[in-house]
Structure 1
Amino acid sequence: MKRSRARSREAADESAEVTVGSRLYRRRRWTVVAACCAAVLSAAGMFSAQWVQSPAEAAARTRAPRPSVITAPVVRQVLRNSVVFRGTFSNGRTISVTPTSVATTENGSQPTALLITGVFARTGQRVKAARPLVEYDERPVFALPGTLPMYRNLTVGEKGKDIAQLQRGLRSLGWPTGSDASGTFGSGTAAAVRRMYAAMGYAAPLTASADTASANAASSTACAGAAAEQPSSDIEKGRSSATPRATEPEPTVMLPASEAVFVPSLPARVVSVPVQVGDTVKGPVITLARGDMTLTGFLDPSERRLIATGMKAEILAEATGVQATGAVDSVGAVVTPGSGTDKTTSDSGAATPQNGSAYVPVKIKSTGRWDKKFADQDVRITITAAATAGAVTAVPEAAVSAGADALTTVTVVTASGAQLSVPVTVGVSADGLVQVTPVRGHTLRVGDRVVVGK
């Protein structure tokens, strides 16, 4: 009995201990949960408090900032007024060669196919006189110095200005024309033409000239008259050898219009070579510029008074990066595209502004020769229109103001932040700056800060 009671007590004690431990565990767990919830609510409150503003705080945050001044330094430099506008390079006047026939030579038969058998020039190249540029049916196309166009075949016995031009060209290239009179294609000119073709590696072209035929006819007539005066007995004795015999005109040297082209300025620039070996001649085989490239600028009429002949110009082709210098050659009158006043640029092949607005054509000449990379390029032209003789004191134009008393002033901000009005006189303005000179009794030093805005 005693043992059973003791066991019962032990069991009761253990049950009581378990009950007490379970209560303590539940209390601790709820305590931890409550602490976590409190922390979360506290963090949420702090976060939401950032979005809550009082009316005073909202007004303070939306209030305009305190007014301040914008300043710029006083500088001393040379003032330059630059005018920038667009321009276009053009080929100017050009001349093309289209062979229409093949000259006869003493070397063989005369072909008629008109096929390109050689191309020796390329676009943009500068070519000299009496050098084969293109070859058709093994005959050369070449340039010679001269202003008159090649409008006919030049043959022995012909006379004219074009003959005199040919003679001058031959002599300038080292082939004398003998005793031929100026403007007359004689034996001396023919010999010079032969030497020119030999230097190029070709046989000289031949033709039956009218003078040769006339001379042969006159000789035949004279011989016939002499035979008529001979006694019949002489004829019977076999002396009838004086009787004229029909003869063909002897071939003489010529210069075909299909082979030569006169160009005023040499070396000449090749504008285009639209053929390849094997092509049939159906049009121009080569086009040459009669002079150097021309640059025409399109100036806004409002800036016309800023540009004068002789001013230095800087040229830049943005597409290729090529740069050059030149000078203003001429300044034209205002041109309005489509109104009939744009004929001044049509002769040189210059384009007009793409926007179709009125412009002043400004011709720019090169200090030497234009780079061939400028051909047909749209470029930027910069011209220094005005400049001071030396460095001057200058401030931004916005820093200068005029009061009701017509006194011009600038406002200087001192180191302490105070603002001091300084009377000045103004001079040249350029690129946003204006020359200023302080009125006697006032000073304005380089580096001083002047007010340009608020």
Structure 2
Amino acid sequence: MRGPVRATLVTGTAVAVAGAVAAAAIGFGGDPPATTDGTAPAPSTAAVTRATLTQTQQVNGTLDYGEPVTVNGRGSGVITWLPAPGAVIRRGKPVYKADNRPVSLFYGGLPLYRPLRAGDTGDDVHEVESNLAALGHTGFTVDDTYTASTAAAVRKWQKSAGRPQTGVFDPVDVVRAPAELRVTTLSGHLGDPADGPVLAYTGTTRMVRIALDVGLQGLVKQGVSATVTLPGGKTVDGTVTTVGSVATAGQAPSDPATIAVTVTLADQSALGALDQAPVGVKLVSASVPDALTVPVAALVALSEGGYGVQVVTGAASRYVPVQLGMFANGRVQITGEGITEGTLVGVPS
């Protein structure tokens, strides 16, 4: 026999369940004894059905491109060119120009922290060589060793950028980002020194960001499904991809602490031109497949404690104790002696 699966959802679920169970008991006229035969069937019946029960929670979020990242210039000179807000910049293209020389975009996860020359080794060498190869510079092996061949490729890259052809890679000549970027705001201006804040960017893929009440933290984990309702009522499918582990205090003392949750959306085309848009998010927090279920209203409180259902067979009925599992969508998972798919149980009119 399948054991019960306890509900683990949100604060308030237990209260709602108790209310529904109490209402069911009142509908049957109080607390009947267990396994007592009766001559009058329930006013109406419902069949025990086998189904997947799914618990969800509705929360609010914001559809946008993610948290902006600030680019700080690290070189000398002055800013002589800036992109327009909203511009998408890909690998090898200038993020801005200092002294009329491009500071280009390289992809990678490791901050480039030192000048590189022949004989140097390390993960930063591999990152630089990967970018050079992706930009069409050849004649070297992409590995973690900066060779004379790497220096030759760097000189070609420097020539294309109008820089002195030293063969030494200087990290101030590039901006590193994980992938292509989308410019959000400009903090620098033409003529400003090129050693301060220049601009802010995000990724190019929209997502939903949720500041989730820490009391609901048990609802979510990486990989659970979500349904996002856009302004206007259209829905799109999503997946929880990140769940923060550090709580952020509310702005006011009465505001709850929150954790950051991110939902990614596979169908970007369904989002139109939306950005910074409030959305509703239905999180799927738990599910039980192949569960025997009845309407919550079918539950009755038994005099000796616990709950049961009124099993109806022809003109007779009896009360059978049951163990309760998950509650969802007005139904409850039950297990009990003789309870099978298709069993008729009484429900109040």
Q: TM-score, normalised by structure 2?
A: 0.61
Structure 1: distance between partners of 2:307 and 2:142: 81
RMSD: 5.1
Equivalent position of 2:284 in the other structure: 384
Greater helix proportion: 1
Q: Aligned ranges for residues 202-241 of structure 1 at < 5 Å?
A: 202-206=160-164
Equivalent position of 2:66 in the other structure: 91
Structure 2: distance between partners of 1:374 and 1:355: 31
Greater strand proportion: 2
Q: Contact conserved, 2:46 with 2:346, CA < 8 A, in 1?
A: yes
Code of the aligned partner of 1:204: G
Residues 6-54 of structure 1 deviation map (CA, whole Å, 9 limit, x = unaligned) = xxxxxxxxxxxxxxxxxxxxxxxxxxxxxxxxxxxxxxxxxxxxxxxxx
Q: What SS class does the counterpart of residue 390 from structure 1 fall into?
A: strand
Structure 1: distance between partners of 2:116 and 2:260: 45
Q: Contact conserved, 1:271 with 1:287, CA < 8 A, in 2?
A: yes
Residues 256-313 of structure 1 deviation map (CA, whole Å, 9 limit, x = unaligned) = 65541122x22x222424279x943365444344897776544455555554554323
Equivalent position of 2:176 in the other structure: 262
Equivalent position of 1:404 in the other structure: 303
- 1:312 is aligned to 2:207: no
Structure 1: distance between partners of 2:233 and 2:169: 42
Equivalent position of 1:115 in the other structure: 80
Code of the aligned partner of 1:406: G
Pick aligned residue for 2:128 from 163, 166, 169: 166
Q: What SS class does the counterpart of residue 94 from structure 2 fall into?
A: coil
Q: Aligned ranges for residues 20-419 of structure 1 at < 5 Å?
A: 74=46, 76=49, 77-87=51-61, 91-92=66-67, 94-98=69-73, 100-102=75-77, 114-116=79-81, 119=83, 122-123=85-86, 125=88, 127-135=89-97, 138-151=100-113, 154=115, 159=120, 161=122, 162=124, 165-176=127-138, 178=140, 184=146, 186=148, 188-196=149-157, 202-206=160-164, 252=166, 257-263=171-177, 265-266=178-179, 268-274=180-186, 279-281=190-192, 284-289=197-202, 297-318=210-231, 321=234, 323-327=236-240, 329-330=242-243, 332=245, 335=247, 337=249, 356-359=255-258, 361=259, 363-364=261-262, 366=264, 378-390=278-290, 392-396=292-296, 398-406=297-305, 408-410=307-309
Structure 1: distance between partners of 2:99 and 2:54: 61
Residues 310-360 of structure 1 deviation map (CA, whole Å, 9 limit, x = unaligned) = 432333444895733114655747x3617xxxxxxxxxxxxx89962134x
How many positions carry a matched residue from both structures? 301
In structure 1, list runs of 5 or more residues that go unmatched.
Answer: 1-67, 103-112, 208-251, 339-351
Q: Percent identity at matched positions?
A: 19
* Cα displacement (A) at 1:205: 0.7
Q: What SS class does the counterpart of residue 142 from structure 1 fall into?
A: strand
Q: What SS class does the counterpart of residue 388 from structure 1 fall into?
A: strand
Code of the aligned partner of 1:388: V
Structure 2: distance between partners of 1:441 and 1:114: 76
In structure 2, list runs of 5 or more residues that go unmatched.
Answer: 1-25, 29-42
Residues 380-425 of structure 1 deviation map (CA, whole Å, 9 limit, x = unaligned) = 33232333323634113x44221323374456999xxx99664452
Code of the aligned partner of 1:139: R
* Cα displacement (A) at 1:131: 1.9
- Larger-Rg structure: 1
Q: Contact conserved, 1:97 with 1:258, CA < 8 A, in 2?
A: no
Larger relative contact order (C-alpha < 8 A, sep ≥ 6)? 2
